[in-house]
Amino acid sequence: MIYIESQTLSGCRVSHSLRGSYGVRIETTMLSQEQLTSSHECERAWIEIDLAALAANTRSLRQWLAPTTELLAVVKADAYGHGALTVAQTVLAHGATWLGVATIPEGIALRQAGITAPILVLGSVNLPVQVQMMAQWQLQPTLSTPKQALIFSDYADRLREPLDVHLMIDTGMSRLGCPWQDAVGFVQFVQRLPHLRIQGIYSHFASADDPDASLMRQQQAYFEQVWEQISALGLGPVRRHMANSAATLANRSSHYDMVRIGLSLYGVYPASHLRGVVPLRPVMQVRSRITLLKEIPAGTGISYGHQFIAPQPMKIAVVGIGYADGVPRLLSNKLEVLVQGKRLRQVGAITMDQLMIDVSDMDGLQEGDVVTLLGEDGGDCLTVETWAEALGTITWEILCGFKNRLPRIPVS
């Protein structure tokens, strides 16, 4: 006989029985509709966003800067997978004054949510309809060419107010930006356009996270050479900015009027030699649940392709998260997880929605128990750096890879 006990929120317990011979007792709790839609208890996997850590990181980075240097928080790619709106609200409350996005829709979403801080679009914009959208939502563009400047100026002719723009100077990244050798002429060209107002002039380091700082110094020298000539043009107040997270930590002379910080806000150091320059705490923790426990005999293959064969009888747990959620398949048989503070190995190929772990040495586990893939549990911690090292990639890619079907749960 199976006994099922259900409990309503009012505390009334109702017992049900089903025919069978398993002899198990199951207790279920009925949740309200509000709880069902707001609680992560019903989720197979989720991401916790530690707002206290995010706030502390923002304050630490703010204190590292001179009082006159502003902090632009880079919240592109859904704030590196952390949730752009929640991150924007938190960092603006703790020292950031600007936001940086990659695309117009990212900026519009923040404006629609009530964010009023200046927003710089770091990507390239070329179409008149895009200019109209940026003007409507008060987003500041990055201009790299005279052609772009003319497109913006032609549209701004219809407006009562000039459009604020930032000019990008390519000092060695070879991505966006006017070549630094032509930068003075480019600035003069934009300066003559009656409907554009230069708010910033900036560049981007190509290797600020490299312990060898020679390329960073060269780029900075080009930028300062350009600025020395530009400063004589009578532009008025213009923000100079060049430093990303790595340069902010490694090279205080590159801070200028503003820094653009992304990765470090989220508690990840851009390189091992920069660890500890300022205190940072990881903001993201990735968790899932055990969905099934089973025992398998020796010689049993696990998952697609039988990449792992059980060397002896094993107890395995199926976990409700996979590569469609952002756990790279290339981590198969390399991944470790935490369950009740103990490190366990993942076995077999990671599948689209699930992965398997070896729980042979664990007693008392149940379906529904929490599995930590990234973050802390029981005094131990699994880091995004470990994943990146195992995959031969960068931490940025790991953080941005977690999909939207994983709800972001703010915690503090």
**Residue 303 belongs to domain with CATH number:** 2.40.37.10
Catalytic choice (76, 80, 256, 266): 76
Confidence of residue 234 (pLDDT cuts 50, 70, 90): confident
Q: Is 175 annotated among the ligand-binding residues?
A: yes
Q: Are residues 257 and 318 in the same domain?
A: no
Q: Are residues 69 and 140 in the same domain?
A: yes
Average pLDDT along the chain: 91
Q: Domain residues for 7?
A: 1-30
Catalytic choice (3, 202, 266, 304): 304
Q: Are residues 80 and 183 in the same domain?
A: yes
pLDDT for 278 equals 98
For the sheet containing 13-18, what is the strand order? Answer: 13-18, 2-7, 25-29
Q: Is residue 353 part of a domain?
A: yes
Tell me the pLDDT tens digit for each residue of 66-97: 999 999 999 999 999 999 999 999 999 999 99
Is the pLDDT confidence value at 36 over 50? no
Q: Are residues 84 and 195 in the same domain?
A: yes
Question: Using an 8 Å Cβ cutoff, are 284 and 309 in contact?
Answer: no
Tell me the pLDDT tens digit for each residue of 271-326: 999 999 999 999 999 999 999 999 999 999 999 999 999 999 999 999 999 999 99
| 76 is an active site residue | yes
| 342 is an active site residue | no
Q: Are residues 69 and 192 in the same domain?
A: yes
Exposed e or buried b per residue across 48-79, where buried means at least 16 C-beta atoms within 10 angstroms of its C-beta: bbbbebbbbbbebbbebbeeebbbbbbbbbbb
Average pLDDT (157-164) is 85
Q: Are residues 213 and 258 in the same domain?
A: yes
Q: Is 352 annotated among the ligand-binding residues?
A: yes
**Residue 121 belongs to domain with CATH number:** 3.20.20.10
pLDDT for 156 equals 85
